[in-house]
Amino acid sequence: MKHRKGDFIIPFEGLKVGMHNYEMQITDAFFENMEYSIVESGDIAVELELEKKETMLVANFVIDGNANVLCNRCNDPLEEYIYGEYRIVFKFGDEVSTDENLVILEPKTYELDITNYLYELITISLPTRSVHDDEECNEEMLDLLNKYTGSGAEANERLSLKRRDEEEEDNDDEIDPRWAALKGL
């Protein structure tokens, strides 16, 4: 199913004051339309409970599904389960808001495009670090990483040897006789 530009636009001008429920399904096409998306694809259900008031809209989002991202360790595709409940308040006015959960809409606004808000909510629902289990990561990539960065034990050993060699070099250096007299002070 290909998403059209207006799939996530809610015309609220004709809505009565009160609660309105929407259900949306986000598929791969949604992420294809996002530039520089960290989510490659996905199948995510969104439930939106929109409460229309005289001077504002209160949107309660429930996001539940699977997002396909790249593993932070081996860069292979990885499916992550995401779930989140979020509230965004859309208020009508001209002031500027510094609150990330408060969006100020111009008084003449008659519809709400939630595309970017959905993408942001999906993105913050992802874990901080997305990695495969050790045995599922791309072995070839892990070997390359270990070759160039070294595993923890190997890297620590190399660092210790390097420091010891530098200390020996420092001790082997002879002191300039002009400065040797200053050492006695």
pLDDT band at residue 97 under the 50/70/90 scheme = confident
Residues 149, 110: Cα–Cα separation, whole Å:
55
- In this structure, the answer to whether residues 20 and 105 fall within a common structural domain is yes
Residues 32, 61: Cα–Cα separation, whole Å:
22
- In this structure, the answer to whether residues 57 and 35 fall within a common structural domain is yes
Digit-coded pLDDT (tens) for 5-45:
567 899 988 889 999 999 999 999 999 888 888 999 999 99
Question: Quick one: DSSP state of residue 74?
Answer: T
Q: Are 118 and 60 a contacting pair, CB within 8 Å?
A: no
Total of domains in the chain: 2
Dihedral-angle region of residue 18 (phi above 0 means left; psi in -120 to 50 means alpha; beta otherwise): left
Token pair listed for 45: 């259900």
Q: What is the pLDDT of residue 19?
A: 95
- In this structure, the answer to whether residues 108 and 151 fall within a common structural domain is no
- In this structure, the answer to whether residues 60 and 22 fall within a common structural domain is yes
- In this structure, the answer to whether residues 15 and 73 fall within a common structural domain is yes
Structural domain that includes position 108: 5-136
- In this structure, the answer to whether residues 109 and 146 fall within a common structural domain is no
Q: What is the pLDDT of residue 1?
A: 42
